[in-house]
């Protein structure tokens, strides 16, 4: 009798428990707020999205430096004269023909006066030689002067004329040297260095100043030989300096040769004169060289392990499968997929780093 009552009590308890469970929603089929089906025993809640194809811009990104378009060395053309005045300093903007440095002209003026006196002396000698030659011709016509003497007079006259020409050339040279006592800017530009001081002796060819011609700068970088055929003169290049500022430039020259050791060629990019870039700065150049259809996925969906890249593909049963992929070029927050998945694949976009192959997941957002 007691055993019968005990069994009846157990059966009633089981029936009561079954009735309570029936009143609850099935855990395996619970719905999230967005209407996405959830799995009650899932290990992680993740976001997922479709891998899609779109127009992908291929960029070539290379490092380089900012250089002067033309770095002009300014030096004197006459030497041995003391520097009298330096009229410019580093950073000064100069125009073509503007005086930059003045040399002492005392010795040059003395030399000029000496050459002028020499010219006048030779002019007098030419006059006497011409008169003597003309008299000789008259006497020779009357047989009063031998032919040999007439030839000597002609030779003297010719020699006097030659010396006069040399004296004129010496005088012209002295005038030019006097003009060279003022060193002028060969073109417009900006003075970048100064190595001359008042009082020093000028040396022919010795550097006094350096000038950034026309204030123009250019960016130079090395590009792989395989990329050179894709580029052309006039193409836009985005130059990014170390402070993150961007400057738009144009390809001016593509190197006609390739370094046989590195297999790289130089590219010369003109930069607007009003940019903040200065010669010597490091900068990175980005060049768009082609566009194509590409399969793109968010960078956050990528998982790297042992030198390989993977994504987690969501299966219909909400389990994930780790898939090896081959990646291409990075563009913003997306990366190109070359091999491994096809367009339309449903991949985990957030939380992939915490998953392992075969995990059951909850998908709370699909985009």
Q: Is the pLDDT of residue 210 over 90?
A: yes
Mean pLDDT of 133-152: 88
SS3 sequence of 136-165: HHHHHHCCCCCHHHHHHHHHHHHHHHHHHH
pLDDT-derived band at 42 (thresholds 50, 70, 90) equals low
Distance CA 23, CA 10 (A): 21
Q: Where are the domains of the chain?
A: 28-57+293-366, 61-70+216-290, 73-194
For 343-365, letters b (16+ CB in 10 Å) and e give: eebbbbbbbbeebeeebebbbbe
User: How much of the chain exceeds pLDDT 70, in percent?
Assistant: 87
Mean pLDDT of 318-334: 86
User: How much of the chain exceeds pLDDT 90, in percent?
Assistant: 54
In 3-state terms, what secondary structure has residue 339?
A: strand
The yes or no reply on domain 61-70+216-290 and CATH 2.40.30.170 is yes
In this predicted model, which residue has the larger pLDDT, 148 or 351? Answer: 148
pLDDT-derived band at 180 (thresholds 50, 70, 90) equals very high
Distance CA 109, CA 178 (A): 7
In this predicted model, which residue has the larger pLDDT, 102 or 298? Answer: 102
The mean of the pLDDT values for the chain is 84
pLDDT-derived band at 166 (thresholds 50, 70, 90) equals very high
CB contact set of 247 (below 8 Å; sequence gap of 6+): 238, 239, 240, 241, 271, 272, 275, 276, 277, 283
Using a cut of 0.95, tell me whether the model's pTM lies above it.
no
Mean pLDDT of 66-71: 93
Q: What is the CATH number of domain 28-57+293-366?
A: 2.40.420.20
Structure tokens at 38: 């959830």
Q: Is the pLDDT of residue 27 over 60?
A: no
pLDDT in tens, 226-282: 888 888 999 999 999 888 888 999 999 999 999 999 999 999 999 987 678 889 999
Q: Is the pLDDT of residue 289 over 90?
A: no
Nearest to residue 252, comparing CAs of 211, 291, 212, 216?
Answer: 216
Structure tokens at 129: 């030689």
Where is average pLDDT lowest: 21-25, 171-175, 204-208? 21-25
> In the prediction, which pLDDT does 43 show?
65
Q: Is the pLDDT of residue 39 over 70?
A: no
């Amino acid at each position: 009798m007691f055993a019968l009552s005990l069994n009846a009590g157990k059966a009633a308890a089981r029936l009561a428990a079954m009735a309570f469970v029936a009143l609850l929603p099935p855990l395996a089929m619970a719905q999230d707020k967005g209407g996405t089906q959830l799995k009650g025993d899932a290990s992680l809640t993740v976001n997922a999205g479709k891998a899609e194809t779109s127009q992908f811009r291929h960029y070539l990104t290379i490092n380089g430096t900012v250089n002067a378009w033309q770095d002009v060395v300014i030096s004197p053309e006459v030497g041995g004269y003391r520097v009298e005045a330096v009229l410019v300093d580093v950073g000064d903007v100069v125009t073509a023909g503007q005086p930059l440095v003045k040399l002492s002209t005392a010795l040059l003026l003395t030399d000029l006066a000496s050459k002028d006196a020499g010219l006048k002396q030779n002019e007098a000698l030419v006059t006497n030689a011409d008169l003597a030659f003309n008299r000789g011709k008259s006497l020779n016509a009357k047989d009063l002067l031998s032919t040999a003497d007439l030839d000597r007079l002609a030779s003297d006259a010719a020699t006097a004329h030659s010396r006069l020409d040399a004296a004129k050339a010496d005088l012209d040279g002295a005038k030019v040297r006097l003009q060279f006592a003022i060193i002028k800017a060969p073109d417009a530009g900006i003075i970048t260095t100064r190595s001359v001081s008042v009082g020093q002796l000028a040396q022919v060819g010795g550097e006094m100043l350096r000038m950034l011609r026309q204030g123009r700068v250019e960016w130079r970088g090395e590009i792989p030989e395989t990329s050179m055929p894709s580029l052309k003169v006039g193409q836009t290049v985005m130059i990014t300096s170390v402070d993150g500022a961007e400057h738009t430039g144009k390809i001016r020259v593509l190197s006609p040769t390739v370094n046989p050791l590195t297999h790289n060629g130089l590219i010369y990019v003109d930069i607007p004169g009003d940019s903040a870039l200065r010669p010597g700065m490091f900068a990175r150049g980005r060049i768009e060289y082609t566009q194509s259809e590409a399969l793109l996925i968010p960078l956050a969906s990528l998982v790297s392990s042992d030198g390989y890249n993977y994504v987690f593909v969501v299966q219909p049963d909400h389990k994930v499968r780790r898939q090896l992929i081959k990646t291409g070029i990075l563009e913003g927050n997306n990366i190109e997929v070359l091999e491994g998945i096809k367009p339309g694949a449903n991949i985990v976009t957030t939380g992939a780093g915490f998953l392992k192959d075969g995990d059951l997941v909850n998908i709370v957002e699909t985009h």
